[in-house]
C-alpha cells in the first residue's frame, strides 16, 4: 500500500473553521484527520503541502517512522503549526491502518480499557444567573462533571468578539459568586471545574483559588499561560486545587516538566495539536508513570472527537473527554455522514474499522473557508488581554 495524495480541507463549520486532511492510497483506502490550531487553517494547509512531499509514495502503515520524519526533518523541530499539521496526518494514517486491518483504531492502541468513553459537559459561563439553571438541567440529564467558562457580566460579551472588554478581577468575582450558587443548587456528588483559558496572572489565579477554596473544585483548567513551568511552581505552592494543563502543548516534550515536577493533575492533551495519536499515547505513558490522568481537550470537530474516543477507550489512565454541546450541534451531516453519537454522558465503544468517521469531500465546497480569528480582548485601559 502506498500514499497517493495528501489533501487539505479548511471548511467553515458553525462560527469558525475546521481543518481536515484526507490521505489517499493506491488501494482505495483513505483516512481522515484534523488539525486543531483554529484561526490558522491556511498555515496548516501550507505545512501539510510541505510535508506531503515526503509522504507520497510511502507506506502509510509506517506511522511512527513518518511521525519522526515529519517532526524532526528540517532541523527546527516542532512548533504549533507543524505539530497541528502532523496531527492531522497522523490521525489519518491510524484511520487507514484500522481500515486496512478491519478493526477500530482503539484495538491498535492496546484494546479496550473501558466500556464507554466518559465525558464532562460545559453548561456555560459563570457570569449570570442562567448558568445555575443550565447546570441543573445538565445534572438532571445525567452529567456528573461540569466544567464552566468565565467572562464578564455583559450578556453580549461573548458575542462582541473582537471588541470584548475583559477585566480579570471582575471576572474572578463573578466566577466565584456564580460557582458558589451552582454548588448550592446541585448535589455534592456533582464535580465542578472552572476554565480560565490562561487569562490570569499568578496572583489573580491564587486569589480565585482562595475565594472558592471551600467548594472542593475538581480541577482548575489553564488559569495562567503555560510557557513558564516556574510560574506554575509558584501557583502550586499557593493552592492545593488540582490543575488541568496541556491543551496548548504541541509535542510530548512540552509535557515533561509539568509531569515530572508535579505541576498538573490532569493532562489536557489535544490529539489534533500534540502530534496526533502517536504523540498522545506517549504523553499517556509518561503520565501513567506519575499517576496523572488524561483529560483530552476537544472543542473541535467530529474527527478529533472520534480520535479522542479511541484514545480514551484504550488508555488506562483516562478520566474524561471534553464535550461541548453547542459545537457538536453544528457538525453538518452532509460533510460528515457518519460521526460519533453521544449516549447520555458518554460515547459507546466504536465498532467500525478505523476511526468510524466518514467525510464527504464533495460537500466541502458547500462549507467554504472564511477567515476567522480568535477574539482580541482588551482591558478598559486599552491594553491587550488574553482570550
- C-alpha R_g of the chain: 20
Which letter does DSSP use for residue 350 in this model?
P
> How does strand 16-25 pair with strand 3-13?
antiparallel
Respond yes or no: is residue 66 known to be catalytic: no
Q: What is the rounded CA–CA span in Å between residue 189 and residue 198?
A: 27
> How does strand 219-221 pair with strand 293-294?
unpaired
Closest C-alpha to 107, from 313, 270, 308, 275? 313
Respond yes or no: is residue 65 known to be catalytic: no
From the list 66, 198, 297, 310, the catalytic residue is 297
> How does strand 30-35 pair with strand 346-348?
unpaired
From the list 177, 197, 233, 290, the catalytic residue is 197
Q: Is there a contact between 31 and 23 (Cβ–Cβ < 8 Å)?
A: yes
What DSSP string runs through 256-270?
HHHHHTT--SEE---
Q: What is the rounded CA–CA span in Å between residue 292 and residue 300?
A: 24
Bridge partners for 368 per DSSP: 11
Closest C-alpha to 271, from 289, 292, 252, 245? 252
Closest C-alpha to 182, from 129, 246, 105, 247? 129
Burial category of 157 from C-beta neighbours within 10 Å (exposed 0-12, middle 13-18, buried 19 and up):
buried
Closest C-alpha to 360, from 329, 339, 385, 386? 339
Grid cell 528540517 is found at: 74
Q: Helices (H) and strands (E) in the chain — how many of each? A: 13, 14
Which residues are annotated as catalytic? 197, 297
Amino acid at each position: 500500500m502506498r500514499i497517493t495524495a495528501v489533501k487539505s480541507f479548511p471548511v467553515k463549520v458553525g462560527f469558525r473553521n475546521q481543518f481536515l486532511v484526507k490521505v489517499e492510497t493506491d488501494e482505495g483506502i483513505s483516512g481522515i484527520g484534523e488539525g486543531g490550531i483554529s484561526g490558522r487553517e491556511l498555515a496548516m494547509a501550507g505545512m501539510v503541502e510541505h510535508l506531503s512531499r515526503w509522504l507520497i509514495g510511502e507506506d502509510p502503515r509506517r506511522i511512527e517512522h513518518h511521525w519522526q520524519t515529519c517532526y524532526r526533518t528540517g532541523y527546527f523541530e516542532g512548533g504549533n503549526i507543524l505539530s497541528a499539521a502532523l496531527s492531522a496526518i497522523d490521525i489519518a494514517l491510524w484511520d487507514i491502518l484500522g481500515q486496512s486491518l478491519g478493526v477500530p483504531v482503539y484495538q491498535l492502541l492496546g484494546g479496550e480499557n473501558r466500556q464507554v468513553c466518559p465525558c464532562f459537559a460545559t453548561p456555560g459561563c459563570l457570569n449570570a444567573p442562567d448558568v445555575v439553571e443550565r447546570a441543573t438541567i445538565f445534572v438532571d440529564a445525567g452529567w456528573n462533571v461540569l466544567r464552566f467558562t468565565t467572562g464578564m457580566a455583559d450578556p453580549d460579551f461573548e458575542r462582541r468578539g473582537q471588541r470584548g472588554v475583559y477585566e480579570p478581577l471582575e471576572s474572578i468575582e463573578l466566577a466565584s459568586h456564580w460557582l458558589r450558587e451552582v454548588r448550592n443548587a446541585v448535589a455534592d456528588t456533582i464535580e465542578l471545574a472552572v476554565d480560565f483559558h490562561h487569562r490570569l496572572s499568578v496572583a489573580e489565579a491564587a486569589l480565585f483559588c482562595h475565594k472558592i477554596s471551600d467548594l472542593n473544585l475538581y480541577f482548575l483548567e489553564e488559569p495562567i499561560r503555560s510557557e513558564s513551568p516556574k510560574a506554575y511552581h509558584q501557583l502550586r505552592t499557593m493552592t492545593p486545587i488540582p490543575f488541568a494543563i496541556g491543551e496548548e502543548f504541541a509535542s510530548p516534550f512540552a509535557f515533561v516538566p509539568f509531569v515530572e515536577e508535579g505541576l498538573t493533575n490532569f493532562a489536557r492533551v489535544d490529539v489534533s495539536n500534540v502530534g496526533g495519536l502517536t504523540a498522545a499515547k506517549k504523553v499517556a505513558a509518561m503520565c501513567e508513570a506519575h499517576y496523572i490522568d488524561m483529560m483530552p481537550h476537544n472543542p473541535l470537530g467530529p474527527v478529533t472527537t472520534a480520535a479522542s474516543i479511541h484514545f480514551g477507550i484504550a488508555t488506562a489512565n483516562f478520566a474524561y473527554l471534553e464535550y461541548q454541546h453547542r459545537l457538536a450541534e453544528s457538525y453538518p451531516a452532509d460533510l460528515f455522514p457518519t460521526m460519533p453519537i453521544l449516549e447520555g454522558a458518554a460515547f459507546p465503544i466504536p465498532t467500525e474499522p478505523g476511526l468510524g468517521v466518514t467525510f464527504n469531500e464533495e460537500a466541502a465546497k458547500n462549507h467554504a473557508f472564511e477567515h476567522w480569528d480568535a477574539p482580541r480582548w482588551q482591558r478598559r485601559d486599552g491594553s491587550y488581554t488574553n482570550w
